[in-house]
Amino acid sequence: MNTTDTTDTTSTTARGAALREGFIRTYGSAPEGIWRAPGRVNLMGEHTDYNLGFVLPFAIDKNALVAVRRRTANEASPRLLEFASTYGGTTGPLPVTGIELDALAPGNVPGWAAYPAAVAYVLGQLPGVQLSGFELLVDSDVPVGSGLSSSHAIEVGTIVALNDLFGLELDATAMARLTQRAENGFVGAPTGIMDQSASLMSRAEHALFLDCRSLASHTVPLPLAAQDTAVLVIDTRVEHSHVDGGYAARRASCEQAAVALGVESLREITEVALLDRLEPELRRRARHIVTENQRVLDTVKALEASDLREVGRLLRASHVSMRDDYEISCPELDLAVQASLAAGAIGARMTGGGFGGSAIALIAVERIPAASASIRRAFAQAGYAEPSIFTVNAAEGAGRA
């Protein structure tokens, strides 16, 4: 469903057909298959994943399509990896990044190609796994830098493709752990395990409750359609990156707080009063994690009771915590939340790693056109770039397209 004036997402079937044709033009032969991996919206639980806490994301109906063909032993370069993307348009020849499988190392693959290269790198380190070279072409409609996990969609699309093609028989949990290792060790982004898990494990019309310590999970129904309510995404167009210093600094603060409190992770702290011994900045950072973990649990209960008003209250409280305690919001995100609430949203919060990206608003479907116009006016009056505004549905996790 897309009820704003933004262009509807082209169907996965049509995109897949175009991707196949583009693959043939780029590499001279057809792919062995096309795999799909969705982006995600995090409904609740920000920065709790690397603190081994709780998260509540859902996969969205925007995804990365990944086409792959394995190179054969009798080809000129059987261990050559080649990566191309339709990002930037498909009218001319697509630039291809090539590297030998044996030459993969952190830091030696430029740009976006580091994401699929990272997956090949970690798979190649597994005992008994023998990869060949391969050709890969990506087409993604997950907005880049929006906080909707565009990079993890590429990584997940790559790992499900290679898992199938090379018969690795990895389950979803193993693939989530491996893509986290790829992101941390090869790309250099100190992310948790939420984004990959959401892309791999989600189910349509459900959120995914994930315990990031045990990786136990279960789906939670989203009673949105029954209440004529939708999740509206406001992409501020302020791009963020997990590789930048702000994300790493927040993670380091949490680790320092855990050491000072004598626990393995802040997941073990459930009472805010226990944080009083910390110095002020660490106390604020830790307070966000402790209260956010509880908000995840409370949101699950509210959804199970179909109480969207309570969900809205929790969304609002989460944004205040991220803005004031964790300090990962920005003026554009704050305005997106304020304007959404002023236009009648039940609740709103920034979503994703912060320092830019998107906000989400829980809002009645009938209010979306007027709210979208109101948000755009607020951005224009503040002198900000026009946001991209669209609704998202909770979609199925990754698999063959």
Q: Which residues, listed in sequence order, are joined to residue 392 by a DSSP beta bridge? A: 231
What local confidence, expressed as pLDDT, does residue 241 receive? 61
- Residue 158 CB partners (closer than 8 Å, separation 6+): 66, 68, 115, 116, 119, 120, 136
Q: How far is CA 104 from CA 117, 136, 190, 288, 289, in A?
A: 7, 16, 20, 38, 36
What local confidence, expressed as pLDDT, does residue 146 receive? 85
Where would I find the H helices in 344-393? 368-382
- As annotated, the active-site residues are 195
Q: If DSSP codes are grouped into helix, strand and coil, which group holds residue 173?
A: helix
pLDDT: which is higher, 234 or 246:
234
Instruction: Domains for the chain: give ranges and CATH numbers.
Output: 12-220 (3.30.230.10), 221-392 (3.30.70.890)
Give the single-character DSSP code of 185: I
> 249-286: b or e for each residue (b if 16 or more CB lie within 10 Å)?
ebbebbebbbeebeeebbbbbeeeeebeebeeebbbbb
At 54, which amino acid appears? Answer: F
Sheet containing 347-351: order of strands:
347-351, 358-364, 229-235, 388-392
pLDDT: which is higher, 45 or 93:
45
Contact 344, 362 (CB under 8 A): no
Express each pLDDT in 127-168 by its tens digit.
999 999 999 999 999 988 888 989 999 999 999 999 999 999
Express each pLDDT in 301-347 by its tens digit.
999 999 999 999 999 999 999 999 999 999 999 999 999 999 999 99
Name the average pLDDT for the chain: 94
pLDDT: which is higher, 243 or 37:
37
Contact 64, 401 (CB under 8 A): no
Q: Which residue is listed with tokens 């959804």? A: 303
What local confidence, expressed as pLDDT, does residue 5 receive? 31
Whole-model pTM: value is: 0.91
What local confidence, expressed as pLDDT, does residue 244 receive? 61
**CA dist., res. 287 & res. 299, Å (int):** 18
Instruction: Report the percentage of the chain scoring pLDDT > 70.
Output: 95
What local confidence, expressed as pLDDT, does residue 93 receive? 83
What local confidence, expressed as pLDDT, does residue 11 receive? 84
What local confidence, expressed as pLDDT, does residue 145 receive? 82
What local confidence, expressed as pLDDT, does residue 4 receive? 37
Express each pLDDT in 94-126 by its tens digit.
999 999 999 999 999 999 999 999 999 999 999
Express each pLDDT in 191-215 by its tens digit.
889 999 999 999 999 999 999 999 9
What local confidence, expressed as pLDDT, does residue 243 receive? 57
Residue 236 dihedral angles phi and psi, to the nearest 5°: -70, -15
What local confidence, expressed as pLDDT, does residue 2 receive? 35
What local confidence, expressed as pLDDT, does residue 90 receive? 62
